[in-house]
Amino acid sequence: MIPQEEIEKVAAANDIVDVIGSYFPLKRAGTVYKALCPFHREKSPSFTVNPGRQIFKCFGCGAGGSVIRFVEMYESLSFPDAFRRMAARAGIRVEDEPLSAEEDAKLKLRRRLLSLHAEATEWFHRNLLRTRAAQHARDYLKNRGISAETARSWKLGYAPDSFSAFCAFARENKYSARELAASGLVTWKEETPERVYDRFRDRLMFPICNGQGETIAFSGRVLSAEAFGGKYVNSPETPLFSKGRVLFGMHKTKRPMIDARSAIVCEGQLDLITAFEAGVCNVTAPQGTAFTPDQARLLKQWGMEEVVLCFDADAAGLKAAERSLPALLDMGIAVRVAEMPAGHDPDSLIRQEGAEAFRQVISAAPDYFDFQIDHFTRSPDASAPRAKAAFARKIAESIVLITDPVLRSAVVNTVSGRLEVPQEQIAALLKRQRSAPRTEEDPEPLQKAPPLSPAIRLLCQLIVSCPEARAHFLAQPWEEVLSRLPDGELPARLLRGNHITPEGTVSLAALSPEDQATLAGVLDTSPLPANPGAIALECWRDLERRVIAQERAALTARMRQPGLSEAEVLRLQKQVLDLTQRHTHITRPLSPSP
């Protein structure tokens, strides 16, 4: 935990008006400064900066705090990273506090993984530029209009068609098998875990960077139509990389997006690179085909007012747009859809007709709901009452996601007029959508956390309130166990984070607003047990039993699949037996009953 006196020293050295004014203009209003809030949509400025108290406050959305808190929110940084950035700005040297053995090991692993990814980036890049084996990769880039200068700017690379070339390079540079496994740059077969193989083979390599420009993962594009596997292979989840929380190119395109307050969303890396190099710089790309809630939250924190989706104009592209909508609307971000000319994506349109043609497509992009209606009205049966009713029901599923009541009312009015369906009927459909029970396919509202099981509620309570119990959990294989539980992410974040008070408990103030809200409910409704140490032991045993039961059920279901060989059945039976024995061992009481 950063000492309070250090936080106060850094905050005092950074004038809040100067810092916030470097991001966007502030207008003086008496003794304070005002601006449109960067954290929510508004027409009249309610964002206030008070130089006397050195605080900011938005009276529209409630955001507020010190200069460090502003940088944390605006730049989407952790508090320690925001603190260090402000310390560096003021020329203050920050003394690193002593770390626990576990924290020190994690920090060292993270540094090693960042170093490995940096060296891998350079190695892949040298392969692309210099090796004879990469000629077909260079030819591919040339055919796509990507110059050598652009390839250097984005550090594009080539992974050789080999199972061991990268592994050999990494080992020559003294990286251990544990570090290689944690990096996600290698893979292995279950039968031979001691042997690792290059994950990326004969692929064009795109480094994926964090906001500071450090490589944290890779995306590899296939170069041969006959190659096995998907068109793209991405790094798996690692200590550095969480796919749903990163946007490709964000280290280059974040500032242009903030300045434009608008993001153009491309489907592929080459689309983004071509647009950026052509001067259309407020572009981004999710790591999949649709936005996750965390990615949408990033855009909201960067002040995005609208997103223009540029997915392919085929069935898959339309589906991707539909899947992106809930996350974006929940953040209050307006969504438009740019329909590319037939046979074009952003990359080909810019290369063949120029950046201005692409800008015109973006400028003409209709609102998402108008786009959906346009597609429907072009269908042969658009005038049929049954088809119109079915489409009205479908579009109501999207309208109900709009959180802004004024915007929702405007959309209802537009849909009603264009479909020639009375507003009262649209309103009735929306009411039905709100009251309908949710299915497994229906996402929960993003502002509501999923309910925690009683065991996880107790686990969170013990982690937050009892240092003895927290120490016990940290001594267990908690990452492995919690990663296999659907509601295990919150306690994992609590154990993973460094939010400890001098008394040894967890500081709620250092947690995210969502986690604070969830934990406040847990602590408010559940008093701490009288014997937390003993309860912690039994709580952990219960979680282990849950994980074993899930694994056993999955193996049993797999054994029922037809076509398994006798050897495979015997292997699965042995695994089930081993799990049953482990479950029995955990179920036994810790001490004889009286």
Q: What does the pLDDT average to over 157-166?
A: 95
**Is residue 373 scored above 80 in pLDDT?**
yes
Higher pLDDT, 259 or 564: 259
Q: Please state whether the predicted TM-score (pTM) of the whole model is above 0.75.
A: no
Of 12-16, 61-65, 228-232, 369-373, the poorest mean pLDDT is in: 228-232
Q: What does the pLDDT average to over 370-395?
A: 83
User: What's the DSSP call for residue 245?
Assistant: G
**Is residue 20 scored above 80 in pLDDT?**
yes
Q: What does the pLDDT average to over 546-552?
A: 78
Residue 422: the pLDDT is 77
**Is residue 449 scored above 80 in pLDDT?**
no
**Is residue 408 scored above 90 in pLDDT?**
no
Higher pLDDT, 468 or 171: 171
- Tokens for 386, please give them: 């049954």
**Is the Cα torsion angle 403, 404, 409, 415 positive or negative in sign?**
negative
Q: Tell me the H-state helices in 475-565.
A: 478-482, 489-496, 513-525, 532-559
Q: What does the pLDDT average to over 445-456?
A: 60
pLDDT band at 21 (very low <50, low <70, confident <90, very high): confident
Q: For 470-485, how does the pLDDT look when each residue is reduced to its tens digit (9 = 90+)? A: 888 888 888 878 877 7
Q: Is residue 32 within a helix (H) or strand (E), and if so which, with residue range?
A: strand 32-35
DSSP string, 497-517: S--B-TTSSB-GGGS-HHHHH
Residue 191: the pLDDT is 53
Q: For 516-539, how does the pLDDT look when each residue is reduced to its tens digit (9 = 90+)? A: 767 766 765 566 777 877 888 888
Residue whose structure tokens are 């995005």: 304
Q: What residues pair up with 506 in beta bridges, in sequence order?
A: 500
Higher pLDDT, 267 or 143: 143
Higher pLDDT, 120 or 568: 120
Residue 361: the pLDDT is 94
Contacts of 359 (CB under 8 A, 6+ apart): 280
Query: What is the overall mean pLDDT for the chain?
Result: 82
Closest CA to 153 of 129, 184, 130: 129
Q: What does the pLDDT average to over 129-153?
A: 95
Higher pLDDT, 78 or 517: 78
**Alpha carbon distance 186, 469 (integer Å):** 36
Residue 253: the pLDDT is 92
DSSP string, 35-62: E--TTS--SS--EEEETTTTEEEETTT-
Residue whose structure tokens are 């392919």: 312
Residue 82 and residue 68 in contact, taking contact as beta carbons nearer than 8 Å: yes
**Is residue 127 scored above 90 in pLDDT?**
yes
Higher pLDDT, 81 or 200: 200
Residue 404: the pLDDT is 75
Higher pLDDT, 142 or 321: 142
Q: What does the pLDDT average to over 419-428?
A: 80
Q: What does the pLDDT average to over 542-555?
A: 78
**Is residue 501 scored above 70 in pLDDT?**
no
Q: What does the pLDDT average to over 151-160?
A: 96
pLDDT band at 543 (very low <50, low <70, confident <90, very high): confident
Burial class (CB in 10 A: 0-12, 13-18, 19+), 250: buried
CA torsion 425-431-433-438 (nearest 10°) is -160
- Percent pLDDT > 70 in the chain is 85
Higher pLDDT, 78 or 312: 78
**Is residue 376 scored above 90 in pLDDT?**
no
**Is residue 585 scored above 70 in pLDDT?**
yes
**Is residue 561 scored above 70 in pLDDT?**
no
Residue 591: the pLDDT is 41
CA torsion 311-312-317-322 (nearest 10°) is 40
**Alpha carbon distance 290, 319 (integer Å):** 9
Residue whose structure tokens are 């279950």: 190
Closest CA to 79 of 24, 26, 1, 136: 1
Q: For 261-280, how does the pLDDT look when each residue is reduced to its tens digit (9 = 90+)? A: 899 999 889 999 999 999 99
**Alpha carbon distance 313, 28 (integer Å):** 47
